[in-house]
Each structure stands twice: as C-alpha cells, then as structure tokens.
C-alpha cells in the first residue's frame, strides 16, 4: 500500500496507517504468550510486519501464516557488536525460521572509529547472504542515531546504501534516544528514495507523532502502541465523517 504524497489525517486511512507499522515485540522480559498475543494483534490490525526476537521467529511465523503480515527480526541486537560472520549466521537462521525482514544493528564502535570499509562490508556481506537465500528479504540497517553525530549519521546512510540495504533505521529503542524529526529529515536527505527507504523507530506512541515521522520522510514505523495508534485514526475518521 503506497502512501499519499502528503501524509495527513485527511489523506491517510486507518488501513494505510497500520501498513506503515512494524509492530515491535522485543522487550527482554516478554513471554511466549505475550508474543503470540502480539502476533494475533498484528493479524487483526493488518500491520506491515511484526518484529520479534530471533528466538521467537518460528513462533511468529506459525501464528501469522496466511495472514499477510510479514515476520521480521533483529540481528546483532541491540548494540551491533557481534562479528560480521555471526550476524550472517543469525540472519540465515532467522530466514530458515520464517523471517522475511531483518533489522540489523551496524557496528557503532567501528563507525565512530572511522573503519568505514569494515562497516560497509559487514552490511554488504549480510545483505548478499540474506538475499541469496531469500531474494525478497528486506534488510534494514539500524544506525542508533542518538549515539552518532550528524556527520556519522550521513556516513552511515551512505555506507548502508552502497552496501545494498533496503532501509536505514533510526534506533533500536533500547539506547539513549529514539526517532526524531531532525534525524529522519537528515536520513531522507542523504539517501536515494528510489532505492533506500527510511524507518523511524523508538518512542513513537501516538498517531500525531507517527504522521509527523511520515511527513519527515519515514516509509515505515517501528512501534509497540499499534492498537492505540490505529484506533485513534479510526476515531478521528469517524468524527470527520460525522462533521461532513
């Protein structure tokens, strides 16, 4: 489902809002029952995907089979410190379990150390391996913007794009900050919209902020407040209809 050129309450529908959301089920203390409940919520609201911990990919894939909701997971989460070959193994195992979207954390320390070739190569090796196993696999690179300077964010965007990633993503939601409008505008301005999309994640709990993120250039939203956001959109649309 494509977004309107100017996303707003007036131009969006509840269904379109839901299809921008990767519903996050990543809390370290989350139980299997909570994961299953969250996946059923995704099926009910028809989100773009669910993003679960690697250990829960198979569970999510079983629950969501035939629903039209994709299963995603995280790689090198939450700090990006595992070696490249371990991230690749993690990615391939996740695909075997049913994941079709991979949100990988880049090596933040190596980026800040100026080891750009290593950062690019890590993303590229994982992307090539994942797409070699599953050509339709979607690879998103988490920058963790709250830990980076603007110059480092721009460099990370360009390295990710050069490496063939499908998305650049603001945050894990488990560091010192989440998505900001300034970061989204910066990321959008420094990637090619025809090849590289932008995902906003971290602290997006309201419909108004979700729409602000879309207006700033986000194509996908990572959120756990899916029901509240979509229900608010439905309520506003219903109120809008009554006023007409």
In the chain, pLDDT over 70 holds for what percent of residues? 99
Residue 159: inside a domain: yes
158 is catalytic: no
Structural domain boundaries enclosing 104? 14-243
**Which one, of 103, 88, 97, 4, lies nearest residue 51 by Cα?**
103
Residue 50: inside a domain: yes
Residue 4 backbone phi and psi in degrees, to 5: -65, 155
Candidates 169, 185, 237, 242; catalytic one: 169
Residue 173: inside a domain: yes
Residue 181: inside a domain: yes
Residue 96: inside a domain: yes
How far lies 211's CA from each of 46, 58, 166, 181, 204, in Å?
A: 18, 32, 21, 11, 10
Task: Tell me what pLDDT residue 47 has.
Answer: 98
Give residue 4's pLDDT band: very low, low, confident or very high (50, 70, 90): confident
- CA 50/CA 41 separation, integer angstroms: 10
Residue 108: inside a domain: yes
Handedness of CA 53, 205, 199, 110 (dihedral sign): negative
Number of structural domains the chain divides into = 1
- CA 107/CA 199 separation, integer angstroms: 18
Give residue 244's pLDDT band: very low, low, confident or very high (50, 70, 90): low
Residue 1: inside a domain: no
Residue 17 has pLDDT above 80, yes or no: yes
Candidates 87, 199, 237, 242; catalytic one: 199
**For the domain that residue 228 is a member of, what is the CATH number?**
3.20.20.70
pLDDT in tens, 165-182: 999 999 999 999 999 999
pLDDT in tens, 37-47: 999 999 999 99
Task: Tell me what pLDDT residue 218 has.
Answer: 98
Residue 4: inside a domain: no
Q: Which of 2-6, 12-16, 182-186, 188-192 has the lowest mean pLDDT?
A: 2-6
pLDDT in tens, 182-222: 999 999 999 999 999 999 999 999 999 999 999 999 999 99
199 is catalytic: yes
């Amino acid at each position: 489902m494509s977004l309107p050129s100017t996303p707003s309450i007036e131009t969006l529908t509840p269904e379109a809002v839901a299809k921008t959301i990767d519903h996050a089920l990543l809390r370290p203390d989350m139980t299997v029952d909570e994961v299953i409940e969250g996946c059923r919520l995704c099926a009910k609201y028809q989100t773009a995907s669910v993003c679960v911990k690697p250990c829960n990919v198979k569970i999510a894939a079983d629950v969501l089979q035939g629903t039209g909701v994709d299963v995603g997971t995280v790689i090198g989460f939450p700090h990006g410190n595992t070696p490249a070959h371990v991230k690749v193994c993690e990615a391939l195992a996740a695909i075997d379990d049913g994941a079709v979207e991979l949100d990988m954390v880049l090596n933040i320390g190596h980026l800040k150390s100026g080891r750009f070739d290593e950062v690019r190569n890590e993303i590229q090796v994982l992307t090539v391996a994942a797409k070699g196993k599953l050509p339709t696999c979607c690879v998103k690179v988490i920058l963790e913007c709250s830990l980076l300077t603007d110059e480092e964010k721009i460099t990370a965007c360009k390295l990710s794009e050069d490496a063939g990633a499908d998305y650049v993503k603001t945050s894990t939601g488990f560091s010192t900050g989440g998505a900001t409008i300034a970061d989204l505008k910066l990321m959008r301005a420094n990637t090619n919209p025809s090849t590289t999309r932008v995902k906003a994640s971290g602290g997006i709990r309201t419909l108004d902020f979700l729409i602000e993120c879309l207006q700033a250039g986000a194509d996908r939203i990572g959120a756990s407040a899916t029901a509240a956001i979509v229900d608010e959109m439905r309520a506003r649309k219903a109120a809008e209809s009554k006023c007409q």
